[in-house]
Copies of this chain bind each other. A is one copy, B any other.
Amino acid sequence: MLSFESDYITGAHPKVLEALIKTNYEPLPGYGNDKYSARAKQKIKAACEAPDAEVFFVAGGTQTNRVVIGSVLRDFEGVIAAETGHIALHEAGAIEATGHKVITLPHQNGKIDAAALEAKIKAFYADDSYQHMVFPGMVYISHPTEYGTLYSKEELSAISSVCRAYNIPLFMDGARLGYGLCSYETDLTLPEIADLCDIFYIGGTKMGALCGEAIVFSKGNAPAHFFTMIKQHGALTAKGRLLSVQFDALFEDGLYYEIGKHAIDMAEKLKTIFAEKGYEFFMQSPTNQQFVILESAKLQKLKEKVAFSIWEPYGESHTVVRFATAWSTTDEDLAALKAIL
């Protein structure tokens, strides 16, 4: 069965798997105190050109979001996000379960706008009743967004400036960061992201690892006892090696970029196939997720031959669906898809 359902349909990239196999029998201390952890963190700091950064590994994205947001926010604060943000919609209330409100902003293809953000913050402090309200305590963005779109350097700089003007940390959800970094349409590098954001994470699960995300506090700004907070959230991996060995491999010899570039190239070919077949796109996505408009009546039939994700209704008779590429997408997969379409 052909599958373009997501970028987490296959296991680990061969080089990541190889690293796990190679180190499997080595006795290593638990909870991230192993030597691969130290080495992987060093590599990530180097890749970010952020020598003061603090890096932590946890297993998944929602876990990352809840432990970071829950630990950084003070009790009277909430986090600002696009109304389509993953934390706002698709994490089953994980942020609220930590006691904090997600304050939403309108989005444009998944992105928030610096001017709207500043207006929101200004309106808050201008409100006579602001002491009865949730304080804006963090800004959360995804890059790529839920819709595969990317912030430009100018856009991210503007958001970062607003955050700094109001002393609000900026947190980037980089579950698919590698696809953003390798897009043909981006002008943002990893060091620039590390510079403009206060906190971000480098996604592993959707970038060729079995699991794992690397949380980066760019300026040594991790909250006090963040290790203990990871434990409290149930996010501390006993066999920490599972995460560190994978990230050590992902940041060896540019593998992370290799994976990203492969998926982007496959996505470009995918776009061409859909375009040639006359399909319309819901939006122009420069990354590995492509949103195509299909006739709802034909979904079922297509699903018998190829797996993809249902996104949202589009008018009465059509549906937006998502096709995603990944490290494991092959030219044969694309040829087979073309034949089916």
Contacts and interface: CB of A to CB of B under 8 A. Distances in A.
Interface stretch (A4-12, A44-52, A153-161): A4-12
Interface stretch (A234-242, A249-257, A261-269, A274-282): A234-242
A91 B210 contact: no
Interface in A2-20: 2-3, 5-6, 8-12, 17, 20
A90 B234 CA distance: 11
Interface in A92-135: 92-94, 96-102, 126-129, 131-135
A184 interface: no
A129 B12 CA distance: 25
A339 interface: no
A263 B241 CA distance: 21
Given A11-B239, A60-B236, A239-B11, A228 B26 contact: no
Nearest to A11: B24
B30 A10 contact: no
Contacts of A338: none
Contacts of A134: 92-93, 96
B24 A10 contact: yes
A229 B12 contact: no
Contacts of A17: 20-21, 24
A210 B237 CA distance: 10
A133 B71 CA distance: 16
Contacts of A309: 128
A63 B211 contact: no
A136 B28 CA distance: 30
Contacts of A41: none
A333 to B, nearest CB: 9
Given A24-B11, A224-B74, A232 B29 contact: no
